[in-house]
Structure 1
Amino acid sequence: MTTTQHNPVLLVHGINDTGAVFNKMAFYLRQRGLSVHTLDLFPNNGVEVLDKLGQQVADYIDNTFESEQPLNLVGFSMGGIVSRYYIQRLGGIKRVQRFITISSPHKGTIVAYGSWLPGCLQMRPHSLFLEDLNSDVQMLKQLNFTSIWTPYDLMILPATSSQLGIGKEIVLPVILHPLMLTNTQVLAIVLERLTEPMKL
């Protein structure tokens, strides 16, 4: 039987990205002793509904980790919503202990009105998909949840869409959406939230 000091971490990317967008964060976390995993959602451009991308997260977890292994999940932008679908609708609530979203459109983004692709439609404010997830968002209180966001985000509009009203909320003055994954303050906070003891 092997024991690890910390849960393995799965990083889930956003639209038009791959797991490589987390290269700096993954390196930073691995240097500090964490086991870090990434996956490539496909297609990553909004053509697929977020439900199906959530299933890809579920499949990756089922194929990569032992069934009893608790996990920590970090989702960036759309990846935070995809991760929520896995947690709230596909049983992830039973094994995810720490969940961090970074600049995720929990209440939608008006930027999504620029596309008619199915995944983008689901990220519009008041979409049926988001309304459904937000109808029982209280279940996220069962885990250690953190939302990190910046008021200067030009992809998540309004930026306050990253607020869920539960868990811990951390606002940082980062000037651009993609810089949220390389900002030194964000990296330090992600590490802290992934390694702090769980509250009983």
Structure 2
Amino acid sequence: MSSHLRDVSPRARQALVLALLAVVTGCATVPEAGPTPPSEHVPVLFVHGTDDTPGAFFAMLDAFQEAGWPKERLHAVRLHPNNGQLPIEVMAYQVRRAAEGLRKRTGAERIDVVAFSQGTLSTRYWMQELGGQPRVRRFVSISGPHHGTRAAYLKADPALVQMRPDSAFLRELNRREKPFGDTQVFSFWTPLDSTVVPADSARLPGATERTFFVPAHQLMLSAPAVISATVEVLAQASPQ
């Protein structure tokens, strides 16, 4: 026995001998490769609002990439037209198409969605009325007019009419007590909002709620506190 082997503990020597015997007798097996673990970064779909473009999320997209999300697992949908001239239901079909495309490209069973302003309503319609809810792990609503906004009276475009307080569209969307199933929902909003009026219309029953004293509606997407909170809630592991 070599001096190197004498320095090994009896239990380690026994294990080594058994391993050598297995190789010599042909009984050794190579362990099979296990399944590839899923990415810890769930794909995220970003949905903009009226008169916005995917560029509204530039600061947030940068923050997600800095937090470790691969670029290919982040997608900001471009809704068309973006000016409210078509009903929100039409936008919801575009959200559905974008969500299914993201799932297919990444192989993910479920995605997360971050939506802003009117985009929150398009997302909700997809989730609640078009069967999207089982596809969504977490939904972050940022300054969504869930109970309408008086600012929608300034224009008569179809989507704006639907965003008026107590509209038929919103009554239907809000009729269910628990519309989100097992999707975790977050509502981020600012009491200083002058686009969603009253500002607390952005509150969403059943959601985990946070308020941020951001001085303007549009600044919610570039406010560091809002961005950090959004990354934080989506970075959390899913409960087992």
**TM-score in same-fold range (> 0.5):** yes
Cα offset, 1:65, TM superposition: 2.0
Percent identical pairs in the alignment equals 35
Q: Give unmatched runs, 5+ long, in structure 1.
A: none
Does structure 1 retain, via aligned residues, the 8 Å contact 2:45–2:102?
Answer: no
Within 1, Cα distance between the matches of 2:205 and 2:108?
30
SS in 2 for 1:139: coil
Aligned partners of 1:88 and 1:101: how far apart in 2?
14
- The 3 A distance-change label for structure 1 pair 18 and 5 is same
Distance (whole Å) between structure 1 residues aligned to residue 123 and residue 189 of structure 2: 16
Q: Which sections of structure 2, spanning at least 5 residues, go unmatched?
A: 1-35
Match of 1:54 among 92, 97, 113: 92
| Contact 1:100–1:148 (8 Å) recurs in 2 | yes
User: Is 1:39 aligned to residue 77 of structure 2?
Assistant: yes
Residue 14 (str. 1) matches residue 49 (str. 2):
yes
Cα deviation, 1:124-157, whole Å, max 9, x if unaligned, reads 0011111111011512252110000000001000
The counterpart of 1:155, out of the listed 171, 175, 195, is: 195
Root-mean-square deviation (Å): 1.4
Q: Tell me which residue corresponds to 2:153.
A: 113
Whether 1:84 aligns to 2:119 is no
Question: Is the Cα contact below 8 Å between 1:73 and 1:100 reproduced in 2?
Answer: yes
Q: Is 1:136 the counterpart of 2:176 in the alignment?
A: yes
2:103 to 52, 65, 68: 65
Residues in 2 aligned to 1:186 and 1:105: alpha-carbon distance in whole angstroms: 17
Q: d(CA) in 1 for partners of 2:39 and 2:229?
A: 21
8 Å CA contact retained: 1:109, 1:124: yes
Instruction: Give the whole-Å Cα distance in 1 for the aligned partners of 2:179 and 2:135.
Output: 13
Q: Which is further off, 60-69 or 20-29?
A: 60-69
Superposition deviation, residue 171 in structure 1:
0.5
Conserved 8 A contact 1:104-1:162: yes
- Matches of 2:205 and 2:39 in 1, distance apart? 32
- Distance in structure 1 (CA, Å) of the matches to 2:181 and 2:103: 24
Work out the CA distance in 2 between the residues paired with 1:198 and 1:162.
Answer: 25
Give the whole-Å Cα distance in 2 for the aligned partners of 1:136 and 1:198: 25
Task: Give the whole-Å Cα distance in 2 for the aligned partners of 1:166 and 1:62.
Answer: 26
Query: Displacement, 1:199?
Result: 3.9
Deviation (angstroms), 1:123: 0.4
Identify the residue that residue 63 of structure 2 maps to in structure 1: 28
Classify the secondary structure of the residue corresponding to 1:194.
helix
Amino acid at match of 1:107: H
Match of 1:191 in 2: 231
- Once the two structures are TM-superposed, the CA of residue 68 in structure 1 deviates from its matched residue by 5.4
Contact 1:141 1:166 in 2 (8 A): no
Q: Distance in 1 between matches of 2:177 and 2:96?
A: 19
Corresponding residue for 2:9?
Answer: none
The equivalent of 2:33 in structure 1 is none
**Whole-Å separation in 2 of the counterparts to 1:165 and 1:64:** 28
- CA offsets 1:96-146 (integer angstroms, 9 cap, x no match): 010000000000000001111001001000111111110115122521100
